[in-house]
Amino acid sequence: MGPATSQNVGVPMRQECKNFESRTYANGETVQKCNVDLAPDAPWRCPDQCAGYQRRIIDGGWTYGSLTPPSTPEEPPGLDDGTAAAVLDEAEEIINAIVPEVLAEVLAENQRKKGFGRFFRRRGRS
């Protein structure tokens, strides 16, 4: 990926979006995320012109508790200066660098398993 682009300029997380999800677990931890994974700075920001934005019209069938949903966390330092995008780019480069090695390991494992398959084949019933 290249340098930070206009895609990385965002607005606060849109809690009224159909794809926004917030869950609070029994231990008190709260997770806020974009279900279509289009928010690179989640849970702090959505892209300004998000292709996945769909305004939530109705929440039929849900039962809401008496607790109010937690607010969006404070933005960490560095979202505006492009360092968040740089960290994501660096992580992507690390993953892309190991893909050929992992793929080779998986293919070798599959070939090894196929070798034993000839000994353990099911025989057809006569």
pTM value is: 0.41
Tens of pLDDT, residue by residue over 72-109, are 667 767 667 777 778 888 889 999 999 999 999 999 98
In a domain, 110, yes or no: yes
43 preceded by cis ω (within 30°)? yes
In a domain, 37, yes or no: yes
Number of domains in the chain: 1
In this prediction, residue 122 has a pLDDT band, given cuts at 50, 70 and 90, of low
Closest CA to 22 of 12, 34, 37: 34
In a domain, 14, yes or no: yes
Does 8 have pLDDT greater than 70? no
- pLDDT given for residue 6 in this prediction: 39
Tens of pLDDT, residue by residue over 15-64, are 778 888 888 888 888 887 888 877 777 667 777 788 888 887 776 666 66
